[in-house]
Amino acid sequence: MPVTVEPCLFVVFGGTGDLMSRKLLPALYHLGERGAVHRDCIIVGVGRSADLSDDDFRRQTQEALREAGLDPGNSQAWCGRCVHYRSIHDGRVEQYRTLKAELEALEREHGLPGNRVFYLALPPQAFPATLTGLGESGLNRSAGWTRVVVEKPFGHDVESARQLNDLVHAYFEERQIYRIDHYLGKETVQNLMVFRFANPIFEALWNRDRVDHVQITVAEDLGIEGRAGYYEQAGALRDMVQNHLSQVLCHIAMEVPAAFDAQSVRDEKAKVMRSLAPVDPRDVVRGQYTRGAVADTGIPGYREEPGVRSNSATETFVAMRLQVENWRWKGVPFYLRTGKRLPRRVSRIFVTFKSAPVSLFQPFTSSLAPNVLAITLQPDEGFDLRFEVKQPGQPLGIGTQQLHFRYADAFSPLPDGYETLLLDILGGDQTLFVRADWVEASWERYHAALDAPPPLEFYEAGTWGPHGADLLLRQDGRAWLPL
């Protein structure tokens, strides 16, 4: 069914920041141009600067849209109609009360029914004060619906996640809270449920009897890109594994939901996370990149990056072995891997099926490759199924071929992940958003690896990580599949 988006105020705290200019504004503009959101949806950027006028902010908005490659004429008209700026100065509760009066005036001016989205495009340390300001000023209540969007990371560990959940629940109900993970907006991630549950040929094989193991890799060729202040506190495990990779794992491992609605889907993902055995630090490899080259470009080591401590023990790479202790997956290892300054940017899932118990073809080949389903999340979204075939001629030869599907071949253009997620927020669909119990369960499962991390290993920038990552699979008689 098409999403129905009612007129609303879309209020972005951190309205002059990088996330707003690079992601949110282009996504909101595209949604408006497609008619996916109501023409009367008004965007309000909120920041600390008291000297920035509406016209100044609109000029900044137009520049951001121009840099995103959008038509300057159309974007100028859109900004003039939809975009406003308001300041909260020093962020005291009194300033939020003033903001409340200003937002109500905008609603009267534009004839809006009181529907509001508050998007916290802010550093995590600013979440508590902003949530408190919204709640204590009464901005958490309105004549229509109110929704609050919180970017990752949601907490730093299990205790901070619980405290943040308690705080946001003091002012908002769970149905109003959208903990956003942009990774879940990717078309291929969303299609995992359709792929599994609409195609019984695969679902019948999706269990410990037929699957040998699962590999999930999210590789980045970039470094920390000036985010040393954040990354030094986070590292790869907090930045990527606890949220992005764990969400992908849940899509792969979840049971069939009772219905295709937000509550049922999120129930099944929470069950996976509760079934995940706590991670043993001995099953974790931590790495940090040193000097090297990516795409023939010289790269400094992580400790040489601006703002990074010269003796930093922060990991830029993590590989780990996980076990889902339930009926479907008992005994099937899930291998997760992510890192910065790897040879290229790619995100891929490999589901490797068990080989035939007896090979009829031993006289002709020493080994047969197992069937593998490869699911590419980026950059070339699609699916590949690898299987064995007879090669033409004599004597008998066997080789691996593959069936492949690419989204770009069938659907163009693909919507940006933020467009998908913003439309769901505006339409009130929480299916792709993280629930409180999932967040806390995820932090609990990784607690031991965070509390007592294994020793740091080093890898050269432009390689696929430290040697220990290969040993992790070699101990099980397996290897990372080529990306």
Active site residues: 244
State the angle between helix axes of 436-445 and 262-275 in degrees (0 to 180), rounded to the nearest 10: 20
Residue labelled with tokens 């008004």: 42
Strand partners, 385: 373, 403
Q: Taking the CA of residue 210 as centre, how many other CA atoms within 13 Å lie in the half-sphere pointing to its CB?
A: 11
Nearest Cα neighbor of 334 from 283, 368, 375, 371 is: 283
In angstroms, how far apart are the furthest CA atoms of the chain? 84
Contacts of 44 (CB under 8 A, 6+ apart): 9, 10, 11, 12, 15, 84, 85, 86, 103, 106
Contacts of 172 (CB under 8 A, 6+ apart): 131, 135, 140, 146, 148
Phi, psi of 334 (to 5 degrees): -110, 120
**In whole angstroms, how large is the CA radius of gyration of the chain?**
24
Gap between the Cα atoms of 110 and 105, Å rounded: 9
- b/e burial code for range 118-155 (CB count within 10 A of at least 16 → b): bbbbbebeebeebbbbbbbbebbebeeebbbbbbbbbb
DSSP 3-state of 250:
helix
CB atoms within 10 A of CB 359: 14
